[in-house]
Structure 1
Amino acid sequence: MKFVRGPLAMVSVVVMAGGCASGGPAPVPVRAPPAVANRTGASPARVSMRSAEIDARLRAEWQSKKIETTARVDDAGFLRRVHLDLTGRVPSAQAVEAFLADRSADKRAKVIDALLASPAYADHFTNYWDRALLGRDVRNNVDRAEFRRWLHERFDANVGYDVWVRDLVSATGLTTGPKSDDGSPLPAATSDVRVNGATNWYVRYMDNPADLAGTASRLFLGVQIQCAQCHDHKTEKWRMSDFQAFTASFMQTRAQLFYPQDKDKKGTRPFDVEDVEKPRRKAKGMDLTDYKNAVPRALDGTELAASGRPRAALAAWITAKRNPWFARAVVNRMWAKLLGRGFFEPIDDIRESNPPAVPGLLDALAQDFVASGYDLKHLLRLVANTEAYQLAARPKAQLPTWGAPVERGSAPAGDERGAAEGAAQVRRDEDALWSYFHMDRLGPDELLDSLAQATGDKSLLEKGAGGDQIRAGLRKQFAFLFDVDEEADHHDEFDGTIAQALWMINGNVLNRSVQVAPGSALAEVIGKPGRDEAKIRALYMRTLSRPPTAEETEHWVKFVNANPMRQAYEDLLWALLNSSEFLFNH
């Protein structure tokens, strides 16, 4: 493969224009049982909200603001979108063919249920929360694989959101344990060391309890209390004293090396996380005096020190049914994940001076989520079945852009300004009220898994220590180049980088994946008997999850016939994977 791929300078433009896709904190044994008990407490009789009610509330909002929604997304577009959102990868070509051939009226609801029940759901949401909780860069002391294993077991068993958050915030035990030669944990029968992978979250922030407090508040409450770390804000509710009291909840937790002889050892070492009687006095490069002397207190003023374990008390307060932030924060986060924009924007900024869109709907969804037993699958199913989620990805009509000049007419200048301002307000309402689906570029995990699905690259799909190491290295590289800011306003325009473009154009992984190699998807496609039209269709189904248009088919047939067959098909696959249609969820 070469950096410049000849006629593809023109070819890829054609493709891109084609369209746009517990309990308490006790540690657990080193090897958890095959399945973690489902502790959601969900009961269908207790769940009262339905997707049709969400549709009715949104429709009333659209009508009151005279907003016209886009048309419903077609079946191919819906299938790609829901696969990306619920499993983090594009559908297989076989899944697309079967879905397009299905004539049943409830096929969309059925595929939502099937994806939520699939192993890929747990894989995807492990990736999502791992990235949200640990971030991209972590110290060697964190056993990320153990943390991901802990998360995966919770999502695989659909443990209630309140349960695993409480277990995470209050976790004690060892961060990691003995490993076999290939890096996998030893089974419990060969080791009496007790490991709780959740403790790696605390160790990630152990040298900066203020960062831990800010992260906990932002992720689980949607409150940016860290803004009060250094000073009181004149117009906002939170004060430095609130931040110090919240951070004090983590001051009676200690993480120390489990094996003292590991002090000078490099790499991941076991840390023992435990609650102690007295607050910590120091941390690397930090003065902890203000936090050590503060009385542990929750954001609503609830004092947390009475039990002697303020961190466990904080975990119980965060996840309590009466907490005014907890359920709303995750509902807002998951709504934004599926619809590209939350009720609150940014999604972690819940405050009185930042009012949400359609607050009544947010409150109703939060109440229903609590009634469901904090069942994330129920929440995702509810949202994915809505009319809003299944709208097309572009506005029905293009309104004048903000700041665009208004043509002169017979109306006075004041009326012209008023008309422009009115049009701009309609556009803001359309954007804020989900009258069309908000496109977003794929994150690093989604892009990596979608490339693996589309190309059949065995090194990306391989399981076990070797494959996991390859994926971990690629994930780190992808995260550096393609990481999406989960907390930013979701309606911002795409702003790619030169490094990202160069990686996709000339990266080793992508160029290797599009070669006609034994066992590759491309070798399978071009090795089948039949006309070029069928092979072109097969590649479109694998990558863009739709059949090509007649114009696209005609263009590519001419291209294949004008070039050496192997090179032509490699270039075709390369162009499809580099198209905006592949790189976006739409």
Structure 2
Amino acid sequence: MKRTGWLVGVVVAAAGCAASGPLARGPAAASKPVEAPRPVLMRSAEIDARMRAAWKEKGLEPAERVDDAGFFRRVNLDLTGRVPKAEAVDAFLADKAEDKRAKTIDALLASPEYAEHFTNYWDRVLMGRNVRKHVDHAEFRRWLHEQLEKNVGYDVWVRELVSATGLTSAPRMAEQPVNGAANWYLRYMDNPPDLAGTTSRLFLGVRIQCAQCHDHKTEKWTMSDFQGFTASFLRTRAQLFYTDDKDKKGLRAYDVEDLERSPEGRLTRPRRAAKRMDIAEYKSAAPRALDGTDLLSGGSKPRTALAEWITRKDNPWFARAIVNRVWGVMLGRGFSEPVDDLRESNPPAMKDLLDTLASDFVTSGYDLKHLLRLIANAESYQLAARPKGQRGDGALWSYFHMDQLGPDELLDSLVRATGLPREKVERQFTFLFDVDEEDDHDDEFDGTITQALWLMNGKVMQRSIQIAPGSALAQVLSKPGGDEGKIRALYMRTLSRPPTDAETAHWVGFLKPPRPGPPPAGEGADTVRRRYEDLLWVLLNSSEFLFNH
């Protein structure tokens, strides 16, 4: 690359000298601008080669390639957060092109559903499941959706999020622009230590909050490290700007700003949080990053300097943390588990591959779609969920790791499969799937007994299987044809695959059990319709529907 640039410079310089010399004839020709060479990015085949070598070394035989129906459902769930439409499954299965999987990945990443799904994901990760009332959640989600829809570089929007200032909401009479990202600071405005611990954990994969109270003999980070990192957030204030209970339904607008500091490094104005908790040890600490970088030098305000440091290309944690997280989202488990814990005492599997992917992510311009595309096209992502000739925990991803659908994925998949209005289902989900913990940011979901009972017997589930006007079951039964076609249509809506011959035969027998002579009294069309409702209930409550596999 350097030689090419040097040679171009010599040629351009020589051409300029010749044009201006005594032998020049006519006006000098305009030089054509030299385009910067495009960065060479990693390909999925490199992941495949490294995974194959690791499997061979460990004596593991990878699972078979997942069939087309399984892949199509899986990639739709992972990239759009919902099961695909039945007609889309049919079209994909009928497509004979060899590159149809790669084209599907590209199409899903370009779809509006991609931005909506990952808005839901990052909203859960950043805000948790119990958003405070003074946070304008709608403005925050609007800002987050814009970043993902425009595919803004991950480093850019993380930098803006960590250092965001401005109005958190749009008062009726205000002309100032709103910065939805400032609502993330608003969520933590009374607890700077929690903001510091969350920032480090989410964006660096470093859990420093264990050092909030005392040093640990076996861990790297000390109380001094935690206090210096937390001090970066002490010079920020969220001041009430406007409130209108009638127009904003009780929601208030705050103005988030970074304060000037005195020559001694103390706050020039009192901070609300100081009245609610003892932060004396943090006020006396010098704001600094985890590598010791002084965040007061250079003229920047500490929070801005911290955001710049976090997203620097030479930061040893930032790119590795997001690559580990996205790998875990797509493949069920990260290189390190939990995905936000990259400490030295929790070393990652296949560290060289993690480092290579992190370097490639930086080269791509922190392009999240590039990273997702790279992983989705890899062989390890497209393996079946059943191991081949081995048992174990799948630590090296020799088969696909099954995961229960998260609340948002389950909600959207139920809506698509049953045709119920989303708002009716969402009200029930808000009650059952939200949690009480103030700082719950865990994006994993294991489910509870109450939730399982709701899926089996809840009012929404009972309504979803009824043959009511506009329902999925009513639409299926209104189509011409026999039971075999209707059974297939229900399988495609719920499980995103056609039934096997054995399954079809079983359900045909269930719907109209063969028996000699006339049917028993009271058994007729209504009985068959109720059995169709039972069939749909079974499909919606099956593990095959409730899991990503």
- Smaller-chain TM-score range? 0.7 to 0.9
8 Å CA contact retained: 2:135, 2:187: yes
Matched position secondary structure for 1:159: coil
Q: CA deviation at 1:281?
A: 4.6
Structure 1, gaps ≥5 residues long = 1-42, 180-189, 400-426, 461-466
Q: Distance in 2 between matches of 1:474 and 1:321?
A: 44
Q: Could you tell me which residue of structure 1 aligns to residue 122 of structure 2?
A: 129
8 Å CA contact retained: 1:444, 1:478: no
Q: Could you tell me which residue of structure 2 aligns to residue 34 of structure 1?
A: none
Q: Distance in 1 between matches of 2:72 and 2:495?
A: 11
8 Å CA contact retained: 2:244, 2:250: no
Equivalences for residues 208-287 of structure 1 within 5 A: 208-259=191-242, 267-278=250-261, 279=267, 281-283=271-273, 285-287=276-278
Q: 1:44-69, CA deviations, whole angstroms, 9 ceiling, x for partnerless residues?
A: 93142100000001101111111111
Paired AA for residue 208 in structure 2: I
Q: CA deviation at 1:138?
A: 1.7
Q: Could you tell me which residue of structure 2 aligns to residue 183 of structure 1?
A: none
> Of the two structures, which has the highest relative contact order with CA contacts closer than 8 Å and spacing of 6 or more?
1
RMSD: 2.2
Structure 2, gaps ≥5 residues long = 1-35, 262-266, 514-522
Q: Could you tell me which residue of structure 2 aligns to residue 30 of structure 1?
A: none
8 Å CA contact retained: 2:491, 2:539: yes
1:372 to 1:474, Cα distance in 2 relative to 1, 3 A: farther
8 Å CA contact retained: 2:239, 2:255: yes
Q: Could you tell me which residue of structure 2 aligns to residue 336 of structure 1?
A: 328
Q: CA deviation at 1:174?
A: 1.1
Q: Distance in 1 between matches of 2:436 and 2:77?
A: 16
Residue 386 in structure 1 maps to residue 378 in structure 2: yes
Q: 1:330-383, CA deviations, whole angstroms, 9 ceiling, x for partnerless residues?
A: 000000000001011111111111111111111110011001000000000000
Q: 1:512-544, CA deviations, whole angstroms, 9 ceiling, x for partnerless residues?
A: 122112122211100011000000000000000
Q: CA deviation at 1:289?
A: 0.6
Paired AA for residue 48 in structure 1: L
Q: Could you tell me which residue of structure 2 aligns to residue 314 of structure 1?
A: 306
Q: Which of 429, 434, 441 is residue 480 of structure 1 equivalent to? A: 434
Q: Which of 123, 127, 134 is residue 141 of structure 1 equivalent to? A: 134
Residue 65 in structure 1 maps to residue 58 in structure 2: yes
Q: CA deviation at 1:486?
A: 7.4
Q: Distance in 2 between matches of 1:495 and 1:258?
A: 41
Residue 548 in structure 1 maps to residue 524 in structure 2: no
Residue 323 in structure 1 maps to residue 332 in structure 2: no
Residue 530 in structure 1 maps to residue 493 in structure 2: no
Q: CA deviation at 1:261?
A: 7.8
Q: Which of 486, 493, 504 is residue 455 of structure 2 equivalent to? A: 504
Q: CA deviation at 1:476?
A: 2.3
Q: Distance in 2 between matches of 1:573 and 1:176?
A: 44
Residue 442 in structure 1 maps to residue 405 in structure 2: yes
Q: Distance in 2 between matches of 1:371 and 1:164?
A: 17
Q: Distance in 2 between matches of 1:118 and 1:289?
A: 49
8 Å CA contact retained: 1:175, 1:195: yes
1:282 to 1:197, Cα distance in 2 relative to 1, 3 A: closer
Matched position secondary structure for 1:255: strand
Paired AA for residue 548 in structure 1: P
Q: Distance in 2 between matches of 1:271 and 1:281?
A: 14
Q: 1:298-329, CA deviations, whole angstroms, 9 ceiling, x for partnerless residues?
A: 00100111225100110011011011000000
Matched position secondary structure for 2:252: coil
Equivalences for residues 17-36 of structure 1 within 5 A: none
State which drifts further: 293-302 or 494-503: 494-503
Paired AA for residue 321 in structure 2: A
8 Å CA contact retained: 1:281, 1:292: no
Q: Distance in 2 between matches of 1:51 and 1:495?
A: 31
State which drifts further: 164-173 or 516-525: 516-525
Matched position secondary structure for 1:259: strand
Q: Distance in 2 between matches of 1:486 and 1:546?
A: 34
Length, aligned pairs only: 490
State which drifts further: 117-126 or 297-306: 297-306
Residue 150 in structure 1 maps to residue 143 in structure 2: yes
Q: Could you tell me which residue of structure 2 aligns to residue 51 of structure 1?
A: 44
Q: CA deviation at 1:203?
A: 0.6
Equivalences for residues 415-454 of structure 1 within 5 A: 427=392, 431-454=394-417
Q: Distance in 2 between matches of 1:333 and 1:241?
A: 28
Q: Could you tell me which residue of structure 1 aligns to residue 18 of structure 2?
A: none
Q: 1:97-121, CA deviations, whole angstroms, 9 ceiling, x for partnerless residues?
A: 0111111111100100000000000
Q: Which of 294, 298, 303 is residue 303 of structure 1 equivalent to? A: 294
Matched position secondary structure for 1:353: coil
Q: Distance in 2 between matches of 1:583 and 1:486?
A: 22
Matched position secondary structure for 1:46: coil
**TM-score normalised by L of structure 2:** 0.85
8 Å CA contact retained: 1:443, 1:482: no
Q: Could you tell me which residue of structure 2 aligns to residue 111 of structure 1?
A: 104
Q: Which of 316, 341, 349 is residue 349 of structure 1 equivalent to? A: 341
1:486 to 1:168, Cα distance in 2 relative to 1, 3 A: closer
1:398 to 1:218, Cα distance in 2 relative to 1, 3 A: same
Q: Distance in 1 between matches of 2:206 and 2:548?
A: 28
Which runs of at least 4 in structure 1 moved beyond 2 Å after TM superposition? 259-262, 278-282, 470-483, 485-488, 494-497
Larger Rg: 2
**TM-score normalised by L of structure 1:** 0.80
Paired AA for residue 213 in structure 2: C
Residue 518 in structure 1 maps to residue 469 in structure 2: yes
Q: Distance in 1 between matches of 2:380 and 2:240?
A: 50
Q: CA deviation at 1:549?
A: 1.2
Q: Distance in 1 between matches of 2:150 and 2:142?
A: 12
Q: 1:459-518, CA deviations, whole angstroms, 9 ceiling, x for partnerless residues?
A: 21xxxxxx5xx57634523532799x8759x8xxx9542101111011122221221121
Q: CA deviation at 1:260?
A: 6.9
Q: Could you tell me which residue of structure 2 aligns to residue 173 of structure 1?
A: 166
Q: Could you tell me which residue of structure 2 aligns to residue 194 of structure 1?
A: 177
Q: CA deviation at 1:559?
A: 1.6
1:44 to 1:486, Cα distance in 2 relative to 1, 3 A: farther
Q: Distance in 2 between matches of 1:481 and 1:247?
A: 27
Matched position secondary structure for 1:270: strand
8 Å CA contact retained: 2:213, 2:223: yes
Q: Could you tell me which residue of structure 1 aligns to residue 282 of structure 2?
A: 291
Q: Distance in 1 between matches of 2:448 and 2:65?
A: 32
Paired AA for residue 228 in structure 2: A
